[in-house]
Each structure stands twice: as C-alpha cells, then as structure tokens.
Amino acid sequence: MKRTAKILGIVACVFLTLLAIGVYGLFHGYFDHGQFEIKEVQRSPANQVAILAERSDKDALGGLEYFVITGNRVLSPTELRHAYYSDAVVFAAESDCLKLRWDSPNRLVIRCAGPTPDRDHINSQRQQRGAIAYENIPLK
C-alpha cells in the first residue's frame, strides 16, 4: 500500500511538472512555428532601439501581423518570438503601413504611412503618456 501511494505520488509530480512546462511553453512562444522577421530598426539618441517586426504564419491559420518592440539592442528571430509573447510589445496590428521614428531621445512615434488601420485590426496598443505617440493610428 505504501509503495503504491509512493508510485502514484511520483507519477502525479512528473505529470504536474510536464503540465507546467507545457503551459509555460505555450504562453512564451515555444510552440509558435510562425516566422519572425525584422522590417525596420530605429535607434534613439538615448541608445534605445525600436524594432518593427513581422510575424507570418506558415500554416495559414493567421495572417501577417506587424509589431513594435523597444529595448536596448536588436533582437534575434528567436528573441523576437519570445518578446512577441511577453509584455514587451508596444504596438501590434495587421497593417503593413507602420513606420517608426524617435521624436526625442525617449519619445517614440509610431505612424501609419497609408490608410488608417481599422480599430478591429489593432491587436495591442500601449499608451504611455509622453513616451509613445501615434500618428494616423486610432487609439483603441
């Protein structure tokens, strides 16, 4: 009886550990087989980097998505994948009209150089007063 309980306890611990690893991987992009590509990089005078990247889905379950991330260096495609699933994304939309520029050392301007994207096609939009500005993009 003791031996059966011990084996069941070990099996339960292994199962819960594998479940936790799977959930972590799911929410951090480890199972995302999409392609991540940098489209534009802008450096600020304060040594910050704004990256405009594209995520495309080879399985055709989703379309193209363009997203903006800020940081202190340019990221690799693997790092982009993990950043896409974190809170590092400043802006994400299904529109390819996006352009970036630093208005000042700490103020990023994200603008659409084409038709204004529909609010329904904006997936994420961070609003930090004084740090991020949007031009020709509706606030969500």
Q: How much is the average pLDDT of 35-55? A: 93
**pLDDT at site 62:** 61
Q: Which amino acid, 39?
A: K
pLDDT category at 2 given cuts 50, 70, 90 is confident
Show Cβ contacts of residue 13 under 8 Å, excluding neighbours closer than 6 positions: none
* pLDDT tens per residue, range 76-94: 988 998 898 888 899 999 8
Whether the pLDDT of residue 54 is over 90: the answer is: yes
Listed range (29-33, 58-62, 92-96) with the worst mean pLDDT: 58-62
Distance CA 18, CA 76 (A): 28
For residues 32-48, give the mean pLDDT: 89
Which phi and psi angles does 107 have, rounded to 5°?
-125, 115
pTM: 0.78
pLDDT digits (tens, 9 = 90+) for 92-123: 998 889 999 999 999 999 999 888 888 888 98
